[in-house]
Structure 1
């Protein structure tokens, strides 16, 4: 846990952090939604106040186990949560004001206790026992470095909408709004100094989408071309659908599907903003929807539901909501999708299976199982991106070809 935003404390902001944490941990809400709602209900807060609140909440959620172990107990009352914040603030390098809420905290003892606890990886990396055991069992020697990387704050990366502009033009336009970027090897832009990206004219004109560097590797991996019939069968909000449509130069047909129809509504809005007209959305309401598309697709993307362990730096509360049982359920769902959805592909077509997980049981092992039972497919290439490899999200992708005969 490094140095954080330790500016002067204000009681109303700390109270807002405390209230947000109570909602996340006692009412089982997701951190991003709680923060979003809190910021929306306090529009008069300045950018520094908003940044303090978001960073404090995310970091306390990220380091929850370490912090409550240093404190000596899991927080139950509002008073406990104030002390939890105090522990976090001290360990982040701040000096606590002389407030009654922090009167029982001894800075020297807290720092001494932290030093002792850092010897235990489960406490040091602030993860549940079961997750440490599973990570070590599946990733072996890579696990310590992987989980340490997943505890670093996520970077913000933009994908340029090449239908409308270039990365160089976008970078110049954003710089006029005080947003500084660095160009990555794939043409993506790493944001090095940010303001509200979504309030910029560039965003409203559909010149970019926020998409992590690792996630941006998936669409090109499918090797689409203009004029093709492409299916994104687990499209969700449509980030990869938009990327595919861009690579297709807005020519052909891209069918975005999902079992959650409400997610596809967001995709329609994003497609309009991006100036993309080849995307058609279709909810998967029953097995007949898949059956009707048998042999129709030149390319098929299966960005399947997964544990999301590769992206927990963005969703640190997932560490406390996940379980072994959940991972086993999602593995069954992945296997079911792999068994049923590839029928949509034409002979000679390509399929990409992708997850934002780093667990082999959700990744290569699923592909090996599929190939054993589906000899009509062959593996062309697969790629594992661990979070420590390039400093971005953990991802897996495998490209398979359906044999001609």
Structure 2
């Protein structure tokens, strides 16, 4: 404690002498106390419950250095649930929102947006964000378009976290997130952030009908079709972009008009090719990432080919061969008892596609030769959804007029 007091007074440390209390007291009182004031940017912390309002006040200080130190300290504190519950009642959300939009200070925007993420993950913190109305949500949507990549990434992470909950999705939609996200799909050049935009847009359209309606009217189908086809990037989109793009496309193609709109954009060719993504990305790509791409591609293909006019187009584009390969691989996995609930989603989506394409005479003819031998064993697969859809697919492939 002796050294702590001396350090706070700005005095050099002097080891206490072993001459008893009187000698130590004389040594302590003989020193001159620091006369000059403390630097205004020094983060002097209070103790107990007083530290939280003091930090919140410093987080919006006009002094850049003090504000940055306070925001960095708050970000560190928010790793604990107790600190989150202590900072929320004293106005941390409003303070972070204000600092997040300081255009002249990149570090403040970075720290503030990063600190909003643990709050969005906490029930009380998320409630405080939504209680701000359009203030915090509006700021986040503006920061999604920030020129600094780190700030954009932080804001997107918060939006994605909010969109996982119905009340958060509603707040984002009310703030105009759909138009912002659709626009970012054609403007964002960083692949990881583009994937985050697609994921957030998928969440808000899948959670709320209002978000889905706004996305369709706002040209999301055309934008996503162009995105997964590489029209907005010089290079082939990375697997994560295609994965989330296909998932979004599956959500957007709800009605027959939307399905035919997607077909008119030429996306069926992309979906068929991505049923075997290793041919596009190479065998050195992460197998799990390729599996997720194929799963979402099959899901989007299943959604679009539910419409009669798109079935024949998919068959002509060669969808039967990769779908048959997926079923064959699933048959082998089932025989070796390697099929799991996680890995069976691709099989289920492929079986649904086969059921759709079997309604087309040309598709049914090809499926009888290429897929039927592997379909029948899957009717008794260990995974219930696989066996269910294998039975339906087998029935439709064997059907005769």
Interval of TM-score (by shorter of Structure 1 and Structure 2): under 0.3
Give the structure-2-normalised TM-score.
Answer: 0.25
Higher relative contact order (CA 8 A, sep 6+): 1
Which structure has the highest helix share of the two?
2
Larger radius of gyration: 2
Which structure has the highest strand share of the two?
1
